[in-house]
Amino acid sequence: MNLFKMMLGGNDAAGKMLDAGLKGIDAIVYTDEEKAQAQQKLMDGWQALEMKRAESGTGTAINRRIISWAVVIVILFNFQIAVVLAIMGWHEPIQSILLLTEKFFVGEAFVSVLVFYFGPHLLGSLRK
């Protein structure tokens, strides 16, 4: 008995070898139960993907994107004009652009876009 302990490193090593052998044999055989579990996991992933795809094509999601792009384009256009005017040294039109941006609540619209466009995704990730 001591000879086997010395060769195998004790009873613990023999048990580990036996477990490894059984796991190897189990991995060779792909049972019907394992196939069903793999199929169910695949179907669950596919269903989650289809739900996300369906949600992204709704009227609300499309309208949200259109409004977001409109507000962002206005802000970028105003910024580009202001930069060009600043480079040319015309500071009075820049003040007019800032005044118009303030009067039309473009900054508030941008914050609203951030909240309504990214908010649902953030809330969804917080729920999980």
Give the gyration radius of the chain's Cα atoms.
Answer: 32
Question: Would 80 be classed as within a structural domain?
Answer: yes
Q: Which residues contact 17 (CB under 8 A, 6 or more apart)?
A: 8
Question: Would 34 be classed as within a structural domain?
Answer: no
Question: Would 11 be classed as within a structural domain?
Answer: no
Domain region containing 75 = 58-127
59-68 in b/e form (b: 16+ CB < 10 A) is: eeeeeeeeeb
User: What predicted TM-score, i.e. pTM, was given to this entire model?
Assistant: 0.43
Nearest to 68 by CA among 125, 119, 4: 119
The answer to whether the beta carbons of residues 113 and 72 sit under 8 Å apart is: yes
Question: Would 41 be classed as within a structural domain?
Answer: no
Question: Would 31 be classed as within a structural domain?
Answer: no
Question: Would 104 be classed as within a structural domain?
Answer: yes
Question: Would 83 be classed as within a structural domain?
Answer: yes
Question: Would 115 be classed as within a structural domain?
Answer: yes
pLDDT digits (tens, 9 = 90+) for 23-49: 777 667 777 887 888 888 888 888 888
Domain count, the chain: 1
pLDDT digits (tens, 9 = 90+) for 55-107: 766 777 778 788 888 888 888 888 889 889 989 988 888 888 888 888 888 78
